[in-house]
Structure formats: structure tokens, C-alpha cells
Amino acid sequence: MSVAEPVLRTARRFWQTALDMLYPRVCHGCQDPLPEDAPHQGKAAWFCGSCCEELVEIQAPYCCVCGEPFDGAMTEAFVCKNCAGRRIAFDFAVAGFKADGPLREMILQFKYGRQLTLRAGLADMLAAALSDPRLAGEDLRQWLLVPVPLHWTRQYWRGFNQSWELCRRLSAHTGIPAAQILRRHSRTSPQARLHRKKRLQNLKRAFALRKPRPWHTLPPLQGRRILLVDDVLTTGATAHECAKILKQEAGAEKVVVITVARG
Ligand SMILES: [Zn+2]
Ligand SMILES: [Zn+2]
């Protein structure tokens, strides 16, 4: 530990206390004030006690590919019926919570209500995914955080790419480097309105690697282990297409998808 670390920690604590006094923290679910002694990390830093109870944490057993939780007792690793027999380019996907209740509301406010200030809380909830046992023992600072890209027109209207904002926050807290190396070059209709077959057709060839430019260089990608970041994973089709590019074109060794929530 460097000499500067305790000083930085004290400064951060002082700053946090000053901020709490100026702007009392409220629950991101019901807007009730949070208790003064609420922690600054983890779900209790963002939600009150009763909203925390409404959060559904994803616990075993879950599909070892897409992370879909399964009701009932299961002692061995299993693959759900959506993943069985499907070619999936990512190694596995992991989310800390189900996209239900107050967390779903928080994600919608972040994305569609353009409340950028919610990114700190969501990045903290995203960090829960890193405690997956399959990532334990990995030196994650050697990995790379990569956001699922948005088409530029959608990013223009929203004002930001929610996945990149989550990457940046998580990178600042964990020291895992982050880079925007994918781009989305065809705009697809909102996923929810399309049938599965049409949706998959739309997604194919929607993504590409960004070209290096003098003002945007790409980090080394050959043999790299990548954490692909998105806010919510639903069917996994988008993550599959992105992972395919990362492996086939960038030469990534491994792609693990981490999301704040599982749809
Ligand atoms: Zn609440
Ligand atoms: Zn699955």
C-alpha cells in the first residue's frame, strides 16, 4: 500500500460526509430518505430497507451460459432450454439481480429518463457481477471492459451510451481498463416490438470493430480477456453478436458478459 492511500481514503470519506450533509441521500426506488448510517457501497447505499427486500438477487441454480435463474433444487451446473443447442459466442453471462421492481425502475430512469446521475448506483450494482465464482482468482486488471455500442443516432438523442457510462464508473472503482472498441453501424428497430427471428436477422452484421484513428487508438486485443458490459441482458442475442466480433475479428480469448440485471 502506498503512503498516499490512507490520505486519499480519509479525503474521500471527508468529501462523502460533506456531500451527504449537502444532499441527503434518498432511496432510488421510493425516494424516501436513506438512514444517515447507510453504507456507500452495495444495494443498501441506493435503496431503503423495504426496496432492498424487493430486489431479486440471482443465486444458484442458474444457467451456466446465460445466467437465467432456475426455480428449484439443482446441484450440478445446467444449461437452460434457450441456450441448449444454440451457438453462443460469449463464454458466459452474469448479472447480480433480476430486472424487476425498484432496480428495473432505476434502469428505465437512467436510460429513457436520461438521469445520468444514476450511473454511480448502477455501476455499483454491476460490480456485484464481478463476485461470480468463475471470475474469482482472475487478475481482472488484465482484462478489458468493453461496452455494447449504441448507434450514433440513438446516442445523440439519449445524450450518452448507458453501457459506456457504466464501464467508466466501474473502471474508476476497480482499475480494470475500459475501451470503446465496437461500433454499431446499422440502426435496428426497438427490440421489444420485433419477433425473435426478425430481431436476430436485424442484429446480424449490426456491429463492427472501430477503426483506429489518430485520436482513438485501440488497446491490444489479441488473446485479451474481455468483460462485455450492458445494462440488461434479455435474450443474449446482442451480446452474442458483439462477442462474435470480439473473438473472430479482434482475436479475444474470452468474452464474459456482465450486466446490472437479467431481464
Ligand atoms: Zn425505497
Ligand atoms: Zn441459458
Query: What CATH number did the domain enclosing 176 receive?
Result: 3.40.50.2020
In terms of domains, do 38 and 165 share one? no
- Retrieve residue 46's grid coordinates: 441506493
CA 248, CA 88: separation in Å to the nearest integer? 13
Cell of 91: 463464454
Judge contact between 60 and 77, C-beta under 8 A.
no
The number of the ligand nearest the C-alpha atom of 78 reads: 2
- Asked if residue 114 and residue 208 are part of one domain, the reply reads yes
Q: Which ligand is located closest to the Cα atom of residue 234?
A: 2
Measured in Å, residue 196 CA sits from the centre of ligand 2 at: 16
Position 226 scores a pLDDT of: 98
Indicate the pTM of the whole model: 0.88
In terms of Cβ atoms closer than 10 Å to its own Cβ (0-12, 13-18, 19+), residue 202 is middle
Query: What is the predicted pLDDT for the residue at 13?
Result: 72
Residue 2 pLDDT grade (very low, low, confident, very high; cuts 50, 70, 90)? low
Ligand closest to Cα of 46 equals: 1
Cis amide leading into 61 (omega within 30): yes
Give the model confidence (pLDDT) of 35-61 as tens digits: 989 998 899 999 999 999 999 999 888
> Is residue 4 domain-shared with residue 63, that is, in the same domain?
no
Q: Is 15 found in the same domain as 101?
A: no
What residue numbers bound the domain in which 174 lies? 55-262
Q: Could you report the per-residue pLDDT of 189-213, keeping only the tens digit for each?
A: 655 566 777 777 778 889 999 998 8
- Do 26 and 128 share a domain, yes or no? no
Does residue 3 carry a pLDDT above 70?
no
Amino acid 191: pLDDT:
54
Task: Identify the band that residue 5 occupies on the pLDDT scale cut at 50, 70 and 90.
Answer: confident
Q: Which residues pair with 261 in a beta bridge?
A: 97, 232
Q: What does the pLDDT read at residue 12?
A: 73
DSSP state of 251: -
Q: Are residues 99 and 72 in the same domain?
A: yes
pLDDT at site 162: 96
| Domain co-membership, 188 together with 91 | yes
Dig out the grid coordinates for 257 from the structure: 458478459
Last residue of a domain, one of 54, 71, 93: 54
Q: b/e for 109-142, b at 16 or more Cβ within 10 A?
A: ebbeeeeeebbbbbbbbbbbbbebeebeeeeeee
Same domain, 19 and 111: no
- With H, G, I as helix, E, B as strand and everything else as coil, classify residue 228: strand
**Helix, coil or strand: residue 197:** helix
Look at the chain and report how many structural domains it folds into.
Answer: 2
Q: What percent of the chain shows pLDDT beyond 70?
A: 92
Cα(81) to centroid(ligand 2), Å: 7
Cα–Cα distance, 245 to 118 (Å, whole number): 30
- The answer to whether residues 41 and 129 belong to one domain is no
Biggest CA pair distance of the chain: 57
Instruction: State whether 129 and 178 are in the same domain.
Output: yes
What is d(CA 123, CA 181) in angstroms, rounded to the nearest whole number? 20
Q: Are 134 and 258 in contact (CB under 8 A)?
A: no
81-91 burial code (b ≥16 CB/10 A, e <16): eebeeeebbbb
Centroid of ligand 2 to alpha carbon of 257 (angstroms): 13
CA of residue 73 to ligand 2 center, whole Å: 17
- Give distance in angstroms: CA of 26 to centre of ligand 2: 35
When mean pLDDT is compared across 20-29, 31-40, 185-194, the lowest value belongs to 185-194
**pLDDT for 51:** 96
Residues 77 and 46 reside in one and the same domain: no
Looking at the structure, tell me whether residues 34 and 97 fall in a common domain.
Answer: no
Q: How close is the Cα of 225 to the center of ligand 2, in Å?
A: 21
Q: Which ligand is nearest to the CA of 102?
A: 1
pLDDT, tens digit (0-9, with 9 covering 90-100), for 76-134: 778 999 899 999 999 999 999 999 999 999 999 999 999 999 999 999 999 999 999 99
